[in-house]
Amino acid sequence: MEGSGGEESEVPPGARLLLSAKAFLSSRQGLLLLAEAGLSFIIFICYIASTAAPFLMVPLLTFLLALCFFFAYSLKLNEKFKAIYWILADFLCGIIAAIIYFAISIAAVSKYSDTASKAAGVFGFIATIVYCIYVYLTFNSLTTYLKQEGSSDAPEPHKSEEDDSDSDSD
């Protein structure tokens, strides 16, 4: 029961969980995921107040996906569930979201005349930029991950004497 030495190992599991979430929140990936979620929520609110109701589902889904990825990474679910390619799923969701946000932002700004639609379009362009930055960083992580996987899983095939010999020449 001494107060020196082993206090770090005696941190309760709940506090350990909060510390890992705080560490992820201060990372670049965590901040970008929060920016994606925040922008998606703002765009969702703008579309609720506008006449551009057909575009309402995109910001809602991207908001929920950004929150899911944020909680999955902050709770380290990507390390617990290795069967899911988290980086690839995150990369594909980011690309799709950037393309769709760009398209609906152009439509919202050009087709609809109310202020809420224009605001949603402007925030959509900002979200497109944030998603492009996130996709770029995720692509770098994905290539690093694939290089590590390729070097560790694929051993160098070595030739045996039977492979070198010609079987037709007796």
> Model confidence over 95-145: pLDDT tens digits?
999 999 999 999 999 998 899 999 999 999 999 999 999 999 989 888 887
- Distance of alpha carbon 166 from the chain centroid: 52
Please tell me the total number of residues recorded for the chain in this structure.
170
Q: What pTM was estimated for this model as a whole? A: 0.73
Dist CA 104 CA 5 (whole Å): 57
CA distances 20 to 24, 25, 29, 160, Å, are 6, 9, 14, 49
What span, in angstroms and rounded, lies between the C-alpha atoms of 152 and 143? 14
Which pLDDT belongs to residue 165? 52
Q: Where are the beta strands (DSSP E) in 56-163?
A: none
CA 139 to chain centre: 10
The pLDDT, as a whole number, for residue 119 is: 94
What digits encode the pLDDT tens for the residues 1-19? 454 554 555 656 655 555 5
Measured CA to CA, the distance from residue 152 to residue 160 in angstroms comes to 22
Query: Could you give the CA distance from residue 6 to residue 83 in angstroms, rounded to a whole number?
Result: 35
Is the per-residue pLDDT at 26 higher than 90? no
